[in-house]
Amino acid sequence: MLTKKGAATRQRIIEAASAEIRERGVVATTLDDICRRSGTGKSQLFHYFPEGREQLLLAVAEWEAGQVLADQQPYLGELTSWPAWHQWRDAVVERYRRQGVHCPLGVLITEIGRHSPAAQAVTARLLEQWQRELQTGLERMRADGHLARDVDPARTAGALIAAIQGGVTLLMSTGSAEHLESVLDLCLDYLRTA
């Protein structure tokens, strides 16, 4: 267990690493850069990340995954009306439009090794959490009579996750949010009329 101060230092290192990597790229970022930016010494860094660079990159990836969900709040956690769903939709589009063609989480996953168990666990956990939040929203909408009884919240939440994933992939290859917007609008139109 880390003390409160220890947890804050660890978090400062992670956020400094995230900022360096966003600015300079993951390959060019050294532990020295991260120490300088976070105002910590090398021995302090190794106290929190005894396995070094790889362990730190994984922690940064976990933090970036958390940011994906945090950027959708407060809407994602309060999907209790159609206006809330549309605000969430706008927040998602805005987030990915701002992010553009460079995905900080994707860069880290590639560096850690796309097929490594650790990297796969980070993305699997993010997708599960995201899908669960959407499912909770759909369940509440259905319980309140805003959604047809025959809409399956789990399956539909999975469809929404796929829609976002595809829209973001196309945004990253074309630079345009058009696909992301049209597929999210199609999904919301479907839900409102279902």
Closer CB to a second copy, 13 or 126, in the complex: 126
Residues 40, 41, 43, CA angle at the centre, nearest 5°?
130
Closer CB to a second copy, 57 or 168, in the complex: 168
State the nearest-atom distance from the C-beta of 30 to a second copy, in Å.
24
State the helix-helix crossing angle for 31-38 and 53-70, rounded to 10 degrees: 60
Closer CB to a second copy, 118 or 127, in the complex: 127
State the nearest-atom distance from the C-beta of 191 to a second copy, in Å.
9
State the nearest-atom distance from the C-beta of 157 to a second copy, in Å.
9
Closer CB to a second copy, 84 or 126, in the complex: 126
Residues near a second copy, by CB under 8 A = 120, 123-124, 127, 155-156, 158-170, 173-174, 178-180, 182-183, 185-187, 189-190, 193-194
* HSE, side-chain direction, 13 A CA sphere, residue 158: 5
State the nearest-atom distance from the C-beta of 194 to a second copy, in Å.
7
> Which residues lie below 8 Å from residue 188, measured CB to CB, with a gap of 6+?
85, 86, 89
- Residue 117 preceded by cis peptide, ω within 30: no
State the nearest-atom distance from the C-beta of 66 to a second copy, in Å.
19
**What CA–CA distance (Å, rounded) separates 3 from 13?**
15
Closer CB to a second copy, 24 or 192, in the complex: 192
Report the first-to-last Cα separation within the chain, whole angstroms.
48
